[in-house]
Chains A and B, each alone.
Chain A
Amino acid sequence: MFIPHTQEDREEMLRTIGISNLDDLFQDVPAPHRFPDLNLPPALTEMEVLQEMQSIAVSNESMEDMICFLGAGAYHHYVPSVVDAIIRRGEFLTAYTPYQPELSQGTLQAIFDYQSLITALTDMDVSNASHYDGSTAVAEAVAMAHANFRGKRNRVVVSPALHPHYRQNLRTYNQGSEIEIVGDEDLSSLSKGPEALEDLIDLNTALVIVQYPDFFGRVYDYTRLADKVHAAGALLAVSVNPIALGLFTPPGKFGADIVTGEGQPLGIPLSFGGPYLGILATRMEYVRKMAGRLVGETVDNRGQRAYVLTLTAREQHIRREKATSNICTNQGLMALAATVYMSTLGKHGLRQVSELCYHKAHYAARSIGSLPGFSLWSDQPFFNEFVVKCPGPVDEINMYLLSEGILGGYNLGNDYPELANHMLIAVTEMNSRDDIDMLADVLAEVSND
């Protein structure tokens, strides 16, 4: 199958090495522990394994079986066929990190294309070649800001409307550091918006982090916050949903210094949470503090334009314990997927998807918000997600929706106790008017019960 050796090959190779059997290769391994019996299921053929995998896969309910209104950081969008056709090509799929540029111009130029699209979308100067996901990109923004002030500013102000997983991750990453994370546990400010963060910004603040649209789907103009942040000499990081940037003003325009984001909506399937794509972009002045790989343009010795990994002296393989980050392997293939997606949709297509999400979400909000017992939690402008207060526990409502073939929204009570009975509903271009009407009809039955 995957090991091509014949019996003769093996014998000849052992003879060449001067040993008589394969076991002799492992003399350095302590004898008492050598060759353990592994308690694993026996081997299957390809035909059998496919059957087994199919039977496991169909025991899930997937978007093939349900109408999806669940988002909360991962979204069900249409992925054009061209995306998978390109990323499945062995030339991209089975190449390593482009350390030898003469043999990797395909990967390198595709990353350069990716960096170009991300900077255009976010209105930043530079994008790295990708980070793991939306949560780790935020964690790196903290490290960048901390390094930018040479460790002299230790406060990070975080919006409570940043994705709960990202906030948890920030704490994990910083448990060994002197960084103090404030702001996100003050839940009384949930309904207030970004002004609530202003009082927390002081001269020890390195970074302020907000989300755009925020975890509850709300869209704020952060211009005033950016001014306050900059007046204190600190940096502003904005975590984005890239699809929203097809419609809304990009963060670069209102003064963001670092833009992070979850790139999954850009042509990457839900796949139970990964692999996704961490977007990390910034202004040129902070490029040397940035985590991860960067591709730069140059020329070769034949005078041709060509691409190469650059500013590598920031990275772990050169700088070791002084590196900006420990990241090595990133999300290369997912960045390629996003590149193919953004270039296929282009200027018009991305705007169209954003508008579809926007209009359908607003239609859904109007329909559901007017049901007896249901009400919209916020009147702030929103993109494709909104919060509704429900007449009962969200998990119970969701069980009922499921029985009707609908995957309901996210139960906010999981993360925000004061938002028990509040559901976060996501709508994308995948939801037809009929789907939305059906959701409203079934919810109406709930409120009548």
Chain B
Amino acid sequence: MTEPLLCDLSVPGRIGMRYPEPDVPLAELPVLLRQDLPLPELSEVDVVRHFTHLSKLNYNIDQGMYPLGSCTMKYNPKINEDTARLPGFALSHPLQPIETIQGNLLLMYELQKWLGEIGGFAGMTLQPAAGAQGELTGVLIIRAYFKSRGETKRTKILIPDSAHGTNPATSAMSGMQVVELKSDERGNVNLEALKSHCDETLAGLMLTNPNTLGLFDENVIEVCRLVHEAGGLVYGDGANMNALLGIVRPGDLGIDVMHYNLHKTFSTPHGGGGPGSGPVGVAAHLVDFLPYPVVDIIEEGDEDMPPLYGFVQPKQSIGRVKSFHGQFGMMVRAYTYIRMLGPEGLRRVAEHAVLNANYLMHLLKDYYHLAYDRPCMHEFVVEGQWDDAPEIHALDISKRMMDYNLHPPTNYFPLIVHEALMIEPTETESKQTLDKFVEVMREIAREAHETPEVLKSAPHITPVGRLDEVKAAKELVLCCGVESIAD
């Protein structure tokens, strides 16, 4: 049974919300008055039922394991939702005088410090809205750095072929030239290819480490050294920081600038697509280029007086990347999370994320071909295809997993692995859950060989079956009440 759309549920005359009558004399209504406001008419009950029905059509972490590689779908602690809604936070305006928002500023100041400590960076901005915007911030910082040194020829950004699509898209948006770097046969950055691009036009390298194959680059120190020797900077895509908490600080390895994803590593919920939060850490030579404003202590405290927190403007700032101060509600959640884990807890997160991934990899590698057969970090990639079952694709395996009440891994990414299935269990899944996952994956591998049709026709138990994506793109019905443009 499909749930109707809001516009189909509308009944003329229904009211969902009443407001008090005006308590002031009425002003004359404007000339530019709107004639028609075609919004639905629903009661509150209609609204709650509609969205409750819709919610039941969603898979989610509260329900079960969500092993999407590169997405770090860990459990989102409930306390975070309560702390973010404390009225002092949720009901404060971004433009209040700083004297009235010392709590917010203290929280941001501490979070800047903690993230800097975790990643090994001297300076931090919390402003970027998500990972991709953190990348934009970072690449613009690199650009501004070279501009300040008069090295305007440095416009080339090297991006490994295993990188996420946001890396090249960001570099292009920043006005840089994108050059793809091949990976070597162990999944590391290919040093020879890197050397061949190390010239006076090199601005930098965008390195995801561990990379999207789940592998820690064995030559990371050498990679950073080569880029630096050529006068370039190394950008770190910190999407995979969950593997490194308390294990190693990217800044110590030579990364100059890196974004974090609070919506991955630091447990803020994904919300069906966002909001995220993508703070950026920088080494000392880049702090002057951070977006403004940055939170700092503007008057030192003493025994009787706490310090006064405020906003400062970095000297050669790239500018503002977002209105106001970033995704503050996500910062409150991440602060709560870090505060509850402490340094040992953070290290335990990384250890168990990596333990879980290696455990799964070990139990699956006789059933699925491993893209790279070496110990992994927090995720690993298998091929969703067999020579003796050639008609089966990664997509079929994914759809079949749904029949076992599991969410599939990431499909078809990274692009360098044929029929990729990228599996990231995260630390919040128990051994029992992982064992069950292995059992299902082995069963699907057996089915792929013996009864491939059940994979081809999967999923069978989901609210909807496989969708006609071509029809969606051809007819472009993008809102209700509109006929398809193909008609």
Contact = CB atoms under 8 A, between A and B. Distances in A.
Given A249-B32, A328-B165, 5 more contacts: A44-B339, A64-B88, A91-B56, A136-B133, A165-B323
Nearest to A398: B97
Contacts of B363: 16
Interface in A124-161: 125-127, 129-130, 132-136, 143
A58 B71 CA distance: 34
Given A5-B430, A57-B87, A274-B326, A355 B34 contact: no
Contact of B76 (A35, A93, A98, A120): A93
Contacts of B466: 102, 300-301
Interface string A407-431: 1001000000000000000000100
B375 interface: yes
29 contacts: A1-B77, A27-B375, A33-B249, A36-B249, A50-B83, A53-B336, A60-B101, A80-B44, A84-B85, A94-B61, A102-B402, A105-B57, A105-B58, A119-B478, A172-B320, A173-B136, A176-B143, A271-B89, A276-B324, A296-B475, A321-B171, A325-B169, A326-B169, A329-B270, A334-B275, A343-B6, A346-B14, A359-B26, A381-B31
Contacts of A272: 89, 92-94, 101, 104, 324-325, 328-329
Contact of A169 (B132, B322, B407): B322
A360 B117 contact: no
Interface in A75-126: 76, 80, 82, 84-107, 109-113, 115-117, 119-121, 125-126
Contacts of A316: 132, 164-166, 168-169
A328 B166 contact: yes
Given A62-B92, A106-B58, A2 B220 contact: no
A233 interface: no
Contacts of A35: 246-248, 347
Closest 6 pairs (CB-CB, A-B): A176-B175, A273-B324, A333-B271, A57-B88, A332-B273, A43-B342
Interface in A189-217: none
A92 B328 contact: no
A332 B129 CA distance: 12
Interface in B85-109: 85-97, 100-104, 106-107
Contacts of B291: 172
Interface residues of B, number: 205
A333 B271 CA distance: 5
B467 A269 contact: no
Interface in B211-243: 215-218, 220-221
Interface in A32-74: 33-46, 49-50, 52-54, 56-64, 66, 68, 70, 72-74
A378 to B, nearest CB: 14
Interface string A253-271: 0000000001000000111
Interface stretch (B193-201, B297-305, B349-357, B380-388): B349-357
A45 B342 CA distance: 10
Contact of A110 (B51, B174, B341): B51
Interface stretch (A6-14, A368-376, A441-449): A6-14
Contacts of A432: 23
Interface string B148-169: 0000000000000000111011
B152 to A, nearest CB: 11
B274 A332 contact: yes
A61 B275 contact: no
Contact of A347 (B38, B107, B481): B38
Contacts of A246: 34, 37
B256 interface: no
Given A61-B96, A96-B272, A347 B40 contact: yes
